[in-house]
Amino acid sequence: METLKELFSPGWVGSLLSLAGLVAAIILYRASLVGARPVFQAWSDRIVGPAPAQSGITIAYHGKPIQRLTRTVITFWNSGRGVLRSEDVVRGHPIRVTFRPDTVILDVRVRAVTRAVLGFQSTIVPDAKAIAIDFDYMDPGDGAVMDILHTGGFESPTFHGTVKGVPTGVQDWGLLSRPESSRWGLIGPKTVGLTLFPVSATVWLFAFAWLWRDKHPLFVTLLVLWPGSSVT
pLDDT 10s digits, 142-176 = 999 999 999 998 888 999 999 999 999 999 999 87
Q: Give pLDDT, residue 111.
A: 95
Q: Give pLDDT, residue 93.
A: 96
Contact between 174 and 41 (Cβ < 8 Å)? yes
CA atoms of 157 and 163, how far apart (whole Å):
18
CA atoms of 131 and 120, how far apart (whole Å):
13
* Reported pTM: 0.66
pLDDT 10s digits, 171-204 = 999 987 655 544 444 544 444 444 455 556 565 5
End-to-end Cα, the chain, rounded Å = 19
pLDDT 10s digits, 5-50 = 555 555 545 555 556 665 555 554 454 456 899 999 999 999 887 7
CA atoms of 34 and 32, how far apart (whole Å):
6
Q: Identify the residue with better confidence: 58 or 18.
A: 58
Q: Band of the pLDDT at 112, cuts 50, 70, 90?
A: very high
Domains belonging to the chain, first-starting first, are 38-179 (2.60.40), 188-232 (no CATH)
Element (H, E) at 225: helix 217-225
DSSP state of 129: S
- What's the average model confidence in pLDDT over 209-232? 49
Least confident of 91-100, 170-179, 202-211: 202-211
Least confident of 10-14, 56-60, 97-101, 149-153: 10-14
128 pLDDT more than 70: yes
Q: Give pLDDT, residue 183.
A: 44
The rounded mean pLDDT for the chain is: 77
Q: Give pLDDT, residue 31.
A: 47
